[in-house]
Every structure is written in C-alpha cells, then in structure tokens.
Amino acid sequence: MAEAVSVKKLTHFINGQLVEGKSGNYANVYNPSTGEVIAEVPLATAEETSEAIAAAEAAFPAWRDIAVAKRVEVIIRFRQLITENIDQLLNIICTESGKTLEDARGEIIRGLESVDLAIGAPHLMKGEYSVNVGGQINSYSAKYPLGVVAAISPFNFPIMVPLAQTSMAVAVGNAVILKASEKVPMTALFVSELWKKAGLPDGIWTVVNGSKEAVNELLENPSVQAISFVGSTPIAKYIYETGSKYGKRVTALGGGKNNMVVMPDADIEQVANAFIGAAYGAASQRCMAISTIMPVGEETANKLVAILKEKISKLKVGSYTEEGTDFGPVISKESKEGILKAIDRAEQQGATVVNDGRTLNMAENSNGYFVGPTLLDNITTEMDIFELEVFGPARNVVRVASLAEAIAVINSQELANGVTIFTNDGAAARKFTTEIDVGMVGVNVPIPIPVGYHNFAGFKGSRFGEGHMFGPDQARFYTKTKTISERWIEVTEKTESTFAFPSNN
C-alpha cells in the first residue's frame, strides 16, 4: 500500500510572522503530477485581510523614511538569499505547480531580473530640477511611495510574477501585500521567510491567502493605494473596474492569444523547433505561450504541419522527477477537463486533429492532470477555439494566404498580448511590426517577452489600466510625483501684490 502523503496546514504571513487563519475555511493545494492533496491553505476573511492592511499601514512610515540606498541593501540581501536557496525553491515550485526543473529554474532567473531592476531604485526615483524658471523661482519634482499597495498573482508563475509585481514596490518605499494564487501558496510563504532573513522590517511584506472575499477587501479598503493583477481577462476586467471605482491606481493584465506568423522564406525546421518550445513549454500555461501558428501559403502550411506532427509526437510528458520530461501536468483537474472539452469542440466544428493529446496514456490512466501535446489544423475564425484562450497544450494552425491577411486576422482578436513573425524579409518584418495591434512583438523570436528592465503588457483585452509589469514603469506605478516651486526672498527685497496669472515676464 502506498504511503499516505502528509498534508501541511499553511498560514498567512502578517507583520513579520506566520499567522494561522482564523476563518476555519481552507482550500486544498494539490500536486498536479499525482493529484494528491499536499497542503491546506487558509482563506482569509475580509476582517483578517483588513487587519493585515492595518499592520502594513502602521509599518509604512518608517520604511518610507529610510534612505533609498539603505532599502536597496535589503533588496541585495534578498537576492542573495534566493540564489542560496534555489534548490529548495525549485522543489517547492515544481511540487505545487507541476513545472519541470528546467522551466522552474528559468522562471527564477527571469524573476531575479525584476529584483536586479529594483536594486536600481535610487536612479529610477530621481526627480528633475530647473533653476530660475522665472522670478528667481526654482522648480523640481520628487517621487514618493504610495503607501500600502497590493499584488494579486497567478498560479502559472509562482515566483517570477510576484517578484515582478513587488520588488520595485518594496524598493521605492511601499508596504506590500501579496495575495498569491491559492493553487501555489507555498512559494509565496517561502519567499516571505527570505524577506525576513534579508532584514525587511515587519509589516512591509505581507502574504494574505484567500479567495474573492480577501480580494474584494484589498480592492475596497481605502488604505490600499494601488493594485497589480495578473490573471485571466474576465477577472482582470473586474479587478480594474472595481479598484478604479474605489479610487485606486490599477494595472490588471489579462490573457493572451498569441500568434506566430510564418512567411514562406523562413527556415521551416527552425520555425518548428521555436514553435514547439514556445507553444508547449510549461504545458502551455503561459500568458505569452504561442497559441496559434499562422503559415502564409498552402505550401508553407503543408510542409510545416508535417514537420510539427513528427516532432510533437516525440515530446515526453511527465512529472518533474522523471528524466527527459519536456513538460508536466496542467494545474488542476478542472483545467484538464476544460482543455479536453475545447479539443472535442474544435474537432466537432471541423478542425483536423494532427496530434491528439487526449489519447496520451498518462492522460487516461494517471491521477495527475496530464494532457498530451495537441495540434489542431484548419482552424477558422468561426471556431470557438480561435478566440478562446486554452490554458493548456492544445495549439492551433490557422492557414492564411498573405501577410496582409495574417495581420487582419490577428488584429481582429480581442486579446493582444504577444505576437511574432518568422521571416528573412526586412520589409515584411517592418510592415508586420508597424501594422500589428499587439503589445509585445517579436521578429524571429519565439516568445517576445521583454527582459526585466523593459516594460511588459499587452493591448486591448490583455491589459486594463496604463501600467506595466516589469521595467521602469514599475517605479512610476508605485510612486507619486510632487512638483515643488520655491523662491527664497532676501530680507531687503521689496514685494508687492500682483493679480496677474504667474508667467515668465
């Protein structure tokens, strides 16, 4: 008989301490590779969340008043602790998310880019200064932290997205509350321990676990000044509309339906390799994963699909503990069922199933949430799966006759996160990058996700609000700018009242 898995009772992290939940309500945390419950996470009430906000608000003034260079010293120690504890982090991420070791390691490295950018907070917080703008008046601007800010993060990147949402917020002087996904809470709690060890004052970093009740308190509580969200488009829209209603600064990033256009002059073998990694990595559970490959011309399409069919059939699906695994399970039983239904529906509507992940032995016989790599050809714009963001390894082929048609088809979609083109024709690439209405664009790059020191965000239904994730816009999002005009009057100087509008006369 198999030995029972020990189920861990998790906590919140409030005011520098691990705090047990008071509500009595818990959600199960699963190992997606086995389907087993590995932990129970408390779901905070509005009252518990309010208490955490109050603790953060009380801690904020002292952290705000510390020199930014001293705050950065804590960020540097935090970065060092992540690298020192990377093996433990890898194990936690892979266990609760199902990622492979290689993928999880890549996520940590990309997350560290956001920490590295936060180390540059002294530069990013610099203001502007003008001497004698008129009448011996000097004007300058200065950036100040907002206060208590909140981040709501998704399951698919347990560490990279939270680090991108919060590192700069901490560095510029805010008190941060993270509401991690209840599907992957253990990574966030481990990161909390690292912040504590790095010397971050109690109350400046908080993790509140919960569901909609906790989220609504973050959205409505007047002490929370800003909200950063990453997740699905319907929830992103709700977060943006609700947070804005309560006067908060909100950036809410939603889903993506990312396309890869393949021109006839591209190296098809190279394209196939690029597509497979970009499409199926992390079981396709990335908002920047390539959902659709769009070959231009029938000859290009036929050749590409034949190569893809062979390569995809050789992919290995399994647990991160198995050697040679290309990708693991999807996050939950519900997710797996939704993906299988999407494949069924596409087939019913006339799609050609080139590679069928429904028949994978593990998909049928394992308790884990495995779905094999699926490729669907002859997808048309009328089919449900054309617009639907399938967060799993079911990818599409949409055949087009020209680059102009590809651009028109892509621009017709509601989601506009990322897009890429493979070509050796500079004129085609220029036309594509100019005319495409998508936030992040690649040329011969399989996943056009910017590095941590460039801004990240899509257009249309992929982003609500004007902020970005990653990049220097984080410093702008988490600070407010005061503009000061000052004049020092000499004792002997005579002044008179004037009623004219101030001007440089």
CATH number at residue 163: 3.40.605.10
493 occurs within a structural domain: no
CA distance linking residue 300 with residue 47, whole number of Å:
59
Q: State the residue range of the domain holding 150.
A: 8-254+462-483
What phi and psi values does residue 472 have, to the nearest 5 degrees? -65, -20
73 occurs within a structural domain: yes
169 occurs within a structural domain: yes
- Give the sign of the dihedral formed by CA 356, CA 351, CA 288, CA 153: negative
Q: How confident is the model at residue 2, as a pLDDT?
A: 46
CA distance linking residue 252 with residue 239, whole number of Å:
7
The total domain count for the chain is 2
402 occurs within a structural domain: yes
Q: In the Cβ-directed half-sphere of 437, how many Cα atoms lie within 13 Å?
A: 11
Q: Take residue 420 and report the two structure tokens written for it.
A: 């890429």
R_g over Cα of the chain:
25
Q: How confident is the model at residue 4, as a pLDDT?
A: 54
Task: Return the bridge partners of 253, or none.
Answer: 230, 463
3 occurs within a structural domain: no
Q: Which residues of the chain have pLDDT under 70?
A: 1-5, 363, 493, 495, 501, 503-505
501 occurs within a structural domain: no
Same domain, 21 and 92: yes
Same domain, 169 and 34: yes
Same domain, 343 and 299: yes
What order do you get walking across the sheet with 26-31 strand by strand? 8-9, 36-42, 26-31
Model pTM? Answer: 0.93
> End-to-end CA distance of the chain, in Å?
90
Same domain, 249 and 277: no
Same domain, 141 and 174: yes
Same domain, 239 and 365: no
CA-wise closest residue to 217 among 457, 41, 16, 45: 45
Q: In the Cβ-directed half-sphere of 366, how many Cα atoms lie within 13 Å?
A: 25
Q: How distant is the alpha carbon of residue 213 from its chain centre?
A: 22
For 33-81, write each residue's pLDDT tens digit: 999 999 999 999 999 999 999 999 999 999 999 999 999 999 999 999 9
CB of 237 closer than 8 Å to CB of 254 = yes
Length of the chain: 505
Q: Which of 115, 149, 224, 287 is catalytic?
A: 287
Q: How confident is the model at residue 1, as a pLDDT?
A: 39
Same domain, 473 and 420: no
Same domain, 204 and 237: yes
Same domain, 237 and 93: yes
One-character DSSP codes across 310-363: HHHHT--B--TTSTT-SB---S-HHHHHHHHHHHHHHHHTT-EEEE-GGG-HHH
Specify whether 94 is catalytic: no
352 occurs within a structural domain: yes
Same domain, 428 and 359: yes
Same domain, 476 and 407: no
Amino acid at 41: V
CATH of the domain at 308: 3.40.309.10
450 occurs within a structural domain: no
Same domain, 226 and 310: no
